[in-house]
């Protein structure tokens, strides 16, 4: 039987939002029927931007587990594992080895790193940990390689569009390692959903906590309504009656992605003709989003009483079992397999 594994993750820096859902979680939920899944709570990677606020990370771990269960991930299934990154020291070890295989200039060419560095601003400048996080992300992924890798095995990584350069980099590392030492790693397969980047409620190209343009999965109906009514629409449609351009409008994109598909075509044509005003369209969206979020809110409330720590502990232990196998092969390939070096 082929091994079909998923490794993907999220940084616990706060509660999750619709961008995380559309870019990542929606695919995760579908895939948990067919794959052995490792969902990584990337608390170490969260330090790349939150080293001065570790308590925020600690609190966010619980919020993210609640969101995961809220959207329908099920850690009680034997094939679904919630993994706490700081509980897997092998990840740190593999990161160090990989840093020897990646050039500084390669990381700096990564377009996502460039964009995120610009967002960090010049005041403090990025830490070494920040600049090298794509390398540690390569370790996160490749630690879960089926070993020894066989032809029909699969290591699938469902992510939003901004992660694609990191996955390309991950496969450069995998191939380089395999060529230079021994064939240990299976290159990963990226999977980006239909909408790889959900814009923010302010019309900026990515919904993101740090930009404050989010709708959280746990927001109450009134908060959602307020956020939606403030949303930007097609900027050439100033008042009802003006013809709109749904393909350029973030509100329409939300309708298309999370709303009622049965009314979508009518909505587009009524927008184009001018018959449908933006305020009405936004009120419809608030209703649709609240209908979409209701079952998530209900499951999240139930999850409050579940043994969340146990799920993380069990998943982390399972991850470490796999980590031992991979790391034994890695150390051997790199001539680091203490103590057998003394016996040669």
Minimum Å gap between C-beta 96 and ligand ATP is: 22
**What token pair was written down for 134?**
């794509």
At closest approach, how far in Å is the CB of 4 from ligand ATP? 19
Minimum Å gap between C-beta 204 and ligand ATP is 9
State how far the Cα of 61 lies from the Cα of 11, in Å rounded to an integer: 9
Q: Looking at beta carbons only, is 199 or 244 nearer to ligand ATP?
A: 199
Between 206 and 282, whose beta carbon lies closer to ligand ATP?
Answer: 206
Q: Closest distance between ligand ATP and the C-beta of residue 18, in Å?
A: 8
Nearer to ligand ATP, 73 or 276 (CB): 73
The CB-nearest residue to ligand ATP is 23
Q: Which two tokens stand for residue 203?
A: 């019309």
Judged by beta carbon, residue 163 or residue 233, the one nearer ligand ATP is 163
Our CB check for ligand ATP shows the closer of 207 and 303 to be: 207
HEC profile of the chain: CCCEEEEEEECCCCCCEHHHHHHHHHHHHHHCCCCEEEEEECHHHHHHHHCCCHHHHHHHHHHHHHHHHHHCCCCCCCCEEEEEHHHCHHHHHHHHHHHCCCCHHHHHHCHHHHHHHHHHCCCCCCCHHHHCHHHHHHHHHHCCCCCCCCCCCEEEEEECHHHHHHHHHHHHHHHHHHHHCCCCCCCCEEEECCCCCCCCCCCCCCCCHHHCCCCECCCCHHHHHHHHHCCCCCCCCCCCCCCCCHHHCHHHHHHHHHCCHHHHHHHHHHHHHCCCCHHHHHHHHHHHHHHHHHHHHHHHHHHCCCCHHHHHHHHHHHHHHHHHHHHHHHHHHCCCCCCHHHHC
Contacts with ligand ATP, residue ranges (CB under 6 A): 10-11, 13, 19-20, 22-24, 159-160, 162-163, 197-198, 206-210
Instruction: Give the nearest distance from C-beta 131 to ligand ATP in angstroms.
Output: 16
Shortest Å, Cβ 110 to ligand ATP:
14
User: Nearer Cβ to ligand ATP, position 22 or 228?
Assistant: 22
Q: Which is nearer to ligand ATP, 19 or 315 (CB)?
A: 19
C-alpha angle 107-111-114 in degrees, rounded to nearest 5: 75
Min CB(10)–ligand ATP separation in Å: 4
Please report how close the Cβ of residue 214 comes to ligand ATP at its closest, in angstroms: 6
> Considering beta carbons, is residue 32 or 208 the nearer one to ligand ATP?
208
């Amino acid at each position: 039987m082929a091994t079909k594994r998923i490794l993907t993750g999220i940084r616990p820096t706060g509660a999750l939002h619709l961008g995380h859902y559309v870019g990542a979680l929606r695919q995760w939920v579908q895939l948990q029927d067919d794959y052995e899944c490792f969902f990584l709570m990337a608390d170490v990677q969260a330090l790349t931007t939150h080293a001065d606020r570790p308590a925020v990370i600690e609190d966010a771990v619980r919020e993210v587990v609640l969101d995961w269960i809220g959207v329908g991930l099920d850690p009680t299934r034997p094939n679904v594992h919630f993994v706490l990154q700081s509980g897997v020291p092998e990840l740190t070890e593999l990161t160090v080895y990989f840093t020897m295989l990646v050039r500084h200039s390669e990381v700096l060419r990564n377009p996502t790193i460039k964009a995120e560095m610009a967002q960090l601003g010049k005041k403090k400048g990025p830490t070494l940990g920040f600049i090298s996080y794509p390398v540690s992300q390569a370790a996160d992924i490749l630690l879960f390689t089926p070993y020894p890798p066989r032809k029909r095995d699969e290591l699938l990584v469902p992510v939003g569009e901004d992660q694609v350069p990191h996955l390309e980099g991950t496969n450069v590392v995998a191939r380089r390692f395999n060529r230079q030492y021994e064939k240990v790693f299976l290159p990963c397969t990226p999977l980006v959903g239909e909408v790889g980047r959900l814009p923010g409620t302010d019309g900026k190209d990515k919904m993101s906590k740090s930009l404050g343009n989010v709708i959280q999965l746990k927001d109450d109906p009134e908060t959602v309504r307020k956020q939606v009514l403030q949303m930007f629409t097609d900027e050439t449609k100033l008042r009802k009656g003006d013809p709109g351009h749904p393909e350029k409008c973030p509100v329409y994109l939300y309708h298309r992605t999370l709303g009622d598909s049965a009314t979508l075509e009518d909505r587009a044509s009524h927008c184009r003709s001018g018959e449908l005003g933006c305020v009405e369209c936004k009120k419809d969206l608030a209703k649709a989003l609240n209908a979409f979020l209701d079952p998530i809110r209900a499951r999240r409330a139930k999850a409050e009483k579940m043994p969340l720590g146990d799920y993380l502990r069990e998943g982390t232990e399972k991850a470490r079992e796999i980590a031992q196998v991979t790391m034994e092969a890695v150390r051997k390939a790199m001539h680091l397999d203490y103590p057998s070096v003394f016996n040669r």
